[in-house]
A and B are shown apart, each in its own frame.
Chain A
Amino acid sequence: MDLSIQNLSMSYGKATIFSGLNAELHSGGLIGLLGPNGAGKTTLLKILTTLQKPTRGEVLVNGTSLLSHPKAMQKVLGYLPQQVPYFPNLTAMEYLNYVAGMKGMRPHQALEQSQSLLESLHLSDTANKRLKEFSGGMRQRVGIAATLLNDPQIIIADEPSTGLDPEERVTLRNLLAELANDHLVLLSTHIVSDIEAIAGQILVLQSGHFLYQGTPGELIKRSVGDVWEYPISADWTSPVIVKQLNQPTTSLIQRPDGIRIREISKRPPLPQAQSVTPNLEEAYLGLLKGVIQS
């Protein structure tokens, strides 16, 4: 599957959400869409999932315009929105059967897939419980199951790990990574760890533009030499330390020998700072804050 974003722009009146977005997305590896809150990720996803039309630009699904032929996308799409829709008075099984019916699946096929998905998402014990009795994380998993019914070729998930505990997040990550082998999976998130180690391509959206498009490895390479680590002194109240801790590009890390500060900076922040290998989150933060060039 191929998804081509061409010169995509979206404005509401005088407010521009994004403009001139271009990207080529292919199946064969999970694609992570990163960006801070308010960057326009959800708006972009709404356009890709035919819920909204852009102000300008084009989106092609395997060469067919999504704007003039939305069904071309709808036939192959599995969309998991940020807030999972559900009917509170239906059981999980009933809801999946309902969605399967809406997707035009045959009853036997629907039942089979629903059962299989519930099992893989550890929901088979609660399949006959009403959705209003589910926790937020359980409902999220039902939403994922509904998205995956009928084996959509394009899966677009908007912050799918919201409400999931660490174990569930790992399960979801592994599931999406496996699907990405032969599906086009686009995962929007502002939590870098959701896509770390599984994304083959990441897009970073900020201020209405793609700051970065490429592999995670390439982004990390760009930030080599821009991440520093130094031990924190005993004097927490020293003005220098307080100033350091208040930087948005600073984090604390626990080491066996004590707490150390990791800071993203072009120059060493303190004489005792040592250059360290960055992780993806630091590379992403550095990109957002302008420390690392886009």
Chain B
Amino acid sequence: MKASFQATFREKSRHMSFVALCIGLLFSVVLMIPNGSGVMRAIIINPATYAQANNASWSAISVAFMMGFFLPLIGAAFLRNAIRLDRDNGTMTLFLTSRFARFKYTAGKFFSNLCLMLIFWGIVLTFSLIGTLVKYQGNGFNLVQFFLPFLILLPGIIFVSALTLVTETLPGLRGRIGTAAVIIFLVLLYTSDANFQQAPSPIQHIFNVSGTDYLITNIKQAVMQSSGHQLTLLKIIGASTSTQYTGHQNLVFSPLRLTETDLLAMGTLILISCGLVYVAGLLLERRPLTPLKLIHWKVHLPVNILKAGSQSQFYLSFRLLTGGVTNYWLSIILLIWLWNWLTPYQGLTQFAFPILFLTAMPLFAELGAGEVQSGVYQWLQTLPNGHRRQTVREILIGSALSVALALPALIKAPTLMVSLALLVWSLQLPVLAQLLGRLTASKRPIQLLMVVFFYLYLNGAPLLSFNQTELVLPTLIYLIILIFALVLLLIPKISFGRKYANY
């Protein structure tokens, strides 16, 4: 178990993506500590009654709320290859030919996952503490009140560490589909928990991975105690354009009070997590896995057409983009795209558009990363203008895909300015995806970014310009991102492939 734990932990913690995540979390703490003013606010609670974020007790509540959502998703994306590492490099085959203690193996993997998650948790905790003390200068700071919202995240962290492990052993969920399924499951779990208007069911209470139940209860109690009123508005990362910040009353949160039922629910979740680790050991393969034969629709063309014609570079670029997903997935994307055409504009902006782009996420994730991971990008350096050709080709195909997906929204947009704004957004997305993929040689950064982006959008953040208001600033930002990413991708001196050269 120790060997499995050490090897996996070292392998993952020495990867650049781990360092990048830690740095990203560090900076994200700045966004998570609440502000009492500004366009975007980390947390908004009954703004007509209360002055927002005017004391230190708001800090832990705000950070824990956001971490309750993001940390499981980060875990799902980052931890999901603990076993695949061994399958990919051939060590699993070696294990399977020996007396292999599978339960110790999976336990070691679980503890490695948990350790990595605890490092992320610890970084957020530490820097939130520092940020809070600096911002409020210790005024009204209560150590117990600060720590408890972070402690309630631990059962969820344990659960995610186990869930990502067991899904790696389930047939059909071992690959990218499994990662997407885990992420979607966690998002659904979160949205079912994060409803302050209804009391959670016992099952919801147990699977309260994000700790939102306890936080919402704490907020409700604080609101009731201070004003005698109900909680009427709770927003996490909300927009403020229509919200009236007229409240002046102080809202101070007392330390979380966990009942016996709460502790039992947490304990149950931890037990379930241990059970999942055991199940992972049971389901772990006994022979090396053979790749699933994906069903591909075979298009039978007459032989002479194949010989006479040529496979155009555009077609090949499109194949590179879509080759990693099954035809079923492509069909789903197509169906959702058609739904975008048929649905009214309001439905499109609220659901159809985000779902379409989230479904197409695996395609955007191929940009930039695919050729670096395969070694082709580095080899292209030996061809005249090889890098540039590949980059330009990808920019064109990525942009074509993105604009094609956004076409229903572009055409249905109420004004030309809105269409242009959406066009800018849809052009910057694939270019940014390509830049991130090229820089990190990984498909995960853009996947994570898209999930976070659409989560914030669905939560009311004015990130997409679907109406005439709030057009200029977001469009300007996307235009800057587009130009910046294009410049970085096309500057010949910046040769990203160099540091990944493995031959």
Contact = CB atoms under 8 A, between A and B. Distances in A.
Interface string B282-319: 00000000010000000000000001001111001001
Contact of B310 (A42, A110, A158): A110
Interface string B143-174: 00000000000000000000000000000000
A216 B389 CA distance: 42
B307 A107 contact: no
Contact of A83 (B311, B312, B502): B502
Interface residues of B, number: 30
A103 B379 contact: no
Contacts of A108: 310
A94 B323 CA distance: 12
A49 interface: yes
B319 A81 contact: no
Given A86-B374, A89-B320, A158-B503, A74 B311 contact: no
Contact of B501 (A51, A74, A107): A51
B49 interface: no
Nearest to A107: B310
A223 interface: no
B371 A46 contact: no
Contacts of B319: 89-90, 94
A192 interface: no
Contacts of A90: 316, 319-320, 323
A83 B310 contact: no
Contacts of B371: 87
Interface string A38-72: 00001000100111100000000000000000010
Contact of B383 (A74, A87, A94): A74
Given A93-B311, A94-B311, A102-B389, A83 B503 contact: yes
A133 B323 CA distance: 14
Contacts of A244: none
A79 B376 CA distance: 12
Contacts of A212: none
A89 B324 contact: yes
Given A77-B382, A89-B320, A101-B313, 9 more contacts: A51-B378, A74-B383, A85-B379, A86-B376, A87-B374, A90-B319, A94-B319, A102-B390, A104-B384
Interface of B: 291, 307, 310-313, 316, 319-320, 323-324, 370-371, 374-376, 378-384, 386, 389-390, 498, 501-503
Interface of A: 42, 46, 49-52, 71, 74-75, 77, 79, 81-90, 93-94, 97-98, 101-104, 107-108, 110-111, 115, 130, 132-133, 158
